Amino acid sequence: MSQVRTRIAPSPTGDPHVGTAYIALFNRCFAHQHGGKFVLRIEDTDQQRSSEKSEQDILQSLKWLGLSWDEGPDCEGDFGPYRQSERSEIYSSHIEQLLDKGTVFRCFCSSERLDLLRQQQMQDKQQIGYDGCCVNLSAENIAAKLEQGEPHVIRMKIPEQGNCEFEDLLRGTISISWAQVDMQVLIKSDGLPTYHFANVVDDHLMKISHVIRGEEWINSTPKHLLLYQYFGWDIPVFCHMPLLRNPDKSKLSKRKNPTSIGYYAAMGYLPEALLNYLGMMGWTMPSGEEKFSQEEMTANFDISRVSLGGPIFDTEKLDWLNGKYIREDLNDEEFIQRFAAWAFKSDKVKMIAPLLKQRVERLSDVASLGSFFFSGELDISAESFAHKNIEADEILKIVQFTLWKLELIEQWDRDSIEKQLQELAAQLELKIRDFLFPLFVAISGKAVSTSVIESINILGIDITRARLRKALDVLGGISKKQAKSLEREFRDFG
């Protein structure tokens, strides 16, 4: 076998997700077990949703977990650049090859036409997809449109009949009817590639031998295989891993479970324990041992033993494992060091100190006043939220809307938080004091504490989200029906 090369290809469009780390771990183990290379490529073709901050957070979180890469945007290698936004010329020259071969076509359909088409297909309960209107435009027609600078995209042709059959390392032969596959846009009207095109071109040029990714990409694989065929390239081995699930078996989502790696770091999980836990998702050591390091996993790895039953990401099990690591792997000195490094990060302490200093009279007051900065979940109940001016329903609404408002913040800082909260208090027509009361309780566990805005800023979105969620839970939760009407009301605020 030629050199094994695997990759993780995250899109920097949000918080670093535990699912990304899970897929990265399996790719890294597989490559290193075969003496191969593990590559990190940033797929930032969606310029509107991609951000530098998200890229930084993803790289930093994977490193924190011990998932370093052999080639990537920060260390380069022989196949760079490793960031798709820096590879535009490569995609342009490659699409030219396919235009010459006639396996792709320019599509000049307006978005209005495509919208109407979609509506019609929905009404007729037909498969949604492009109808091929521009497939057979004459060369003269195309030349004239190009001359006039008409905006257009480039789509791939798809066989009209038959099935696409391919081998999956874990699932055997998969067969998908071509009728279900859309004539995918490969190049957008701004000249930039879509995920599908850039992903295939890069996997080939970066000599990726095994594409190990989440099962949500199975339905895209026919398009990818067809592109390999159009170019005349060898195909890599495909392996679609089972998706992580919530305890209720639904796809792991941040609505039900914290999914951001930052949350687990902020809660004081040890990276080696979290990584071990991700390794247990769908895989077990031959010995049945549940506690293992990445090196042990790599040494014993056998991808064919990945089980396809949806692995449940269960924080209780993770708590158990993390506790085991703390007790078994850290001596007292190491425990002190790890705790201090986690709790007293200098930037965090520097922000907390002035808030506490203003309020304490004795140093012994620091612990009780400031303990919520160093806690995970707080000990609160429905009674903690009882208030003379605000009804229980209103309290629930304040907490939920605050969560939604904070999730809109792109640049997390004190001023943005203050702006969102002030705006919300005005929209809800509440006195700021009344409005802030449930937030004090949810965030600090007490009705009176250090400034709630400063506290939210210091705690960060991950812990803040978890605390607001817990508040919603102890307040009795929100039914689906209630959530719908709250969403409507929130949207109307604009």
Q: Which stretch binds ligand GLU (CB under 6 A): 5-13, 92-100, 159-167, 309-317?
A: 5-13
Residue selected from 83, 213, 465, 467 as contacting ligand GLU according to rule CB under 6 A:
213
Is 252 a residue that touches ligand GLU (CB under 6 A)? no
- Asked if 271 contacts 253 with a C-beta cutoff of 8 angstroms, the reply is no
Task: Find the shortest distance in angstroms from Cβ 43 to ligand GLU.
Answer: 4
Residue selected from 108, 178, 217, 374 as contacting ligand GLU according to rule CB under 6 A:
217
Task: Find the shortest distance in angstroms from Cβ 282 to ligand GLU.
Answer: 17
x/- contact string, 25-64, with ligand GLU (CB under 6 A)?
Answer: ------------------x---------------------
Is 73 a residue that touches ligand GLU (CB under 6 A)? no
For ligand GLU, the closer of residues 210 and 213 by Cβ is: 213
CA angle 27, 314, 210 (to 5 degrees): 10
Is 236 a residue that touches ligand GLU (CB under 6 A)? no
Residue selected from 6, 11, 221, 298 as contacting ligand GLU according to rule CB under 6 A:
11
- Determine which one of 157, 254, 446, 470 is catalytic: 254
Residue selected from 4, 5, 6, 9 as contacting ligand GLU according to rule CB under 6 A:
9
Q: Which stretch binds ligand GLU (CB under 6 A): 3-11, 114-122, 324-332, 478-486?
A: 3-11
Q: Which stretch binds ligand GLU (CB under 6 A): 4-12, 68-76, 117-125, 472-480?
A: 4-12
For ligand GLU, the closer of residues 29 and 459 by Cβ is: 29
Q: Which stretch binds ligand GLU (CB under 6 A): 6-14, 50-58, 64-72, 414-422?
A: 6-14
Q: Phi and psi at residue 104, in whole multiples of 5°?
A: -130, 165
* Catalytic annotation present for 254: yes
Q: Which residues are catalytic?
A: 254
Q: Which positions lie near ligand GLU, rule CB under 6 A?
A: 9-11, 43, 195, 199, 213, 217
